[in-house]
A and B are shown apart, each in its own frame.
Chain A
Amino acid sequence: MAPPFAAAAAAAAVASSSSYALFSASADRPLLRHQMPPSSISVRPRRRTTAASAAAESTGRALLEARDLFACVKESGEEILTGLNLTIREGEVHALMGPNGSGKSTLMKVLAGHPEYEVTAGTVIFKGENLIDMEPEERSLAGIFMSFQAPVEIPGVNNYDFLLMALNARREKKGLPALGPLQIFPIVEEKVRALDMNADILNRAVNEGFSGGERKRNEILQLSVLGADLALLDEIDSGLDVDAIEDVAKVVNGMLAPHNSVMMITHYQRLLDLIKPSYVHIMEKGKIVKTGDRSLAYYVDESGYKDIATV
């Protein structure tokens, strides 16, 4: 069933994951690696893309690899992801575009372990480990951060306490002692300032009564305080004014290091001008149907998604 060139790709996959073999549960599950991307859908950039991205491809280690991913809504059984393939390497910025209902948000939620969705087939390897077997909080502690498109209100839970809890959960995982509220204040205050937020926001209940813009900024505040190896940003630009988008982009760019990656969903060119993606993926009906560089986003901006797969 594997395509003819599967052997080479499998070898590459093993090679790329071998460095994780020591702590990888999936290392003794070779089965996972037999599932190769169908040849018809390439998630890798074409060889004719820019030299920079080609270089990134050859040097970066794979951070996340999704293979033939199928997922449905748990309650209704409605299938949303239909055989999706995606590889994100360290240091890369990916943009996910596509018409409404194509499964962009669902992909992010599936990667972040949202209980509403169920993975019915396929594999996702994150840092060499099987992501699908992990609880949502384990995924977060492993380095995945998803910003919510519609952040949840939690009445009664103080925003600052929430940050402290989340930060201490990370420290506990690393075997570090918990920090007190006063100890994290300088860190948090600096991040609040970087996002041009009102410090009052820390004393309010998480997202309760926040404006749309405040909610989005609050998500990025959490990202900047907690850090992430892979940040999944679901429409962080919607509901933000121009200045706010720039603040958010600055913070996200500031976090990008050679080993951190970002995948963002957006409908607008502006965010892509500020956080420059190495790859742009177009999703349709639960699959990535086209991958290219930033020029693809310009094409979408002008011509829409019609017939994009054949361009």
Chain B
Amino acid sequence: MSSPSLCAATCSTSLRLPPPILRFRRPGALASVPAARSAPAVSDDLVLRIAEQLEDSVAASSPLLDPLRSASALSLLSTRWPTRRSNEAFRFTDISYLRSLPISLPSQAPALAAPSSPYPSYIHFSDGVLTSTSGVHVSALADLPPGPARDRAAAVLAASAEFADKDLFYDFNAIGAKDVAVVHVPEGVSMADDPVHIMFSYSGNGDGSMVMSNPRVLVLAEKGAEVAIVEEHFEVGQEDGGCYWANPVMEIILEEDAKVVHSYVQRQSFEAAHTKWTVIQQSKSSKYEFVEVSIGARLNRHNLHIQQLGPETDTQLSAFHFLSQDKQIHDLHSKLILDHPRGLSNQLHKCIASSTGNAIFDGNIKVNRYAQQTDAGQETRCLLLSPKALINVKPNLQIIADDVKCTHGAAISGEHDPNALYFFQARGIDVKTAADALNFAFGAHVINKIPFKPIEKNALAQFKELLASSRQE
């Protein structure tokens, strides 16, 4: 492999490590070295510093990750830290919280035992480090024996290097991921009732720095396979909220006629940051069902990217965001690209913003030239519970095909439907209790779509608790 070599020779610390693909050094530190000038002029000090830290921490990673790592390393050299003014994708999203604290990386695999899962198949990441896996179709990339499964995973990861819509968080993950958890479900196998529970537990290290973690998961559903995935991001250990930055990437490949049911619950601490990519590729006649419940983290940015690879795909997306804390920021950027005929898609985005929270939704659906007879629906409903809460929504459909059915709607309101409130009152229930019930119902509407009872119940309970505490303030 030809890896761009920029300034490796000058680096003394790297001598202790196996030869890296690419070394990051801040231009300032290398002012006297002529090679530094070959770095693109747009490189960004902060981006390079983080990239350097990540690369130092990933001493030995699977060679299967090399193409992805080098591609991301290369693009990081010319990526600037996004700001609201310079980058359209971050126009409404203030990510300065990520710069407010020094970044540290988890030093060693934590000693904590894996949280118990109600399901026999599970994957556990502790502060981004893959610590345990269980289940027939679940494995770490490093442990995959040579064979078709491993070749397939390698091919997908290599193809990910070409991912055009990525941003710097995707690249950070690519160079910071030590290993990849692989869920590989062979042709025709159905495990829809027996979900793979992917647990991401986090704990800050309490030294005033932000612990960054870059877990990565690859789900491969072969032809006709049925898979259920439950993805949970949560806090362990810390009493008063750990400070950490979770930067996970989840890639899901659906082959022909495959079905993936994906539930995703983010309930991290309110001091944490969560920047997430979910990248889906759907082949002919595949079905992807996604339910997101995000109620944690101080800063939450989710990029959901779905690319249609064949006709007659079915895509069902539901997301609920609840902002209960001061200055909390939740952002969902979704992009669904339809390039083939007769695709069906439905997207529902809901959010409740209270106190001084800021919710952002950018929902893009592209119905390209050959995506005739597409049936695409999108709906966003937001509820503002306080006068200082802020919501930016940008639902957008770009339709080039001319024989399609596309609907979209956006509703933002500061109060509930007076008719619904009156219906409660007419049955003897006071307005406050009625409003509480309606707020709860607003979120429960999405949370109820999680097909697995223990996960659903847990998410509902946490939402209810946060709703009650945000009301008292």
Contacts and interface: CB of A to CB of B under 8 A. Distances in A.
B438 interface: yes
A interface: dominant SS: mixed
Given A155-B441, A156-B442, A156-B445, A112 B427 contact: no
Interface string B422-461: 1111111111010001101111110010000000000000
Contact of A162 (B418, B427, B444): B427
Interface residues on B, range: 20 to 34
B438 A154 contact: yes
Contacts of A270: none
Contacts of B443: 156
Given A154-B423, A156-B444, A115 B428 contact: no
B419 interface: yes
A157 B438 contact: yes
A201 interface: no
Contact of B445 (A153, A155, A222, A226): A155
B428 A169 contact: yes
A137 interface: yes
A140 B425 contact: yes
A170 interface: yes
Interface in B319-352: none
A140 B441 contact: no
A114 interface: yes
B468 interface: no
B365 to A, nearest CB: 23
A113 B428 CA distance: 12
B420 interface: yes
A10 B351 CA distance: 57
A193 interface: no
A112 B438 contact: no
Contacts of A157: 437-438, 441
A155 B448 CA distance: 12
Contacts of A113: 425-426
A115 B424 CA distance: 13
A146 B425 CA distance: 11
A152 interface: yes
Interface string A158-201: 00011001100110010000000000000000000000000000
B418 A140 contact: no
A136 B444 contact: no
Given A137-B428, A140-B425, A165 B433 contact: yes
Given A113-B426, A137-B426, 18 more contacts: A115-B422, A135-B425, A136-B425, A136-B426, A140-B428, A141-B428, A146-B426, A152-B420, A152-B423, A156-B442, A156-B445, A157-B438, A162-B437, A165-B427, A165-B429, A165-B437, A169-B433, A226-B428
Interface of A: 112-115, 135-137, 140-141, 145-146, 148, 151-157, 161-162, 165-166, 169-170, 173, 205-206, 222, 226
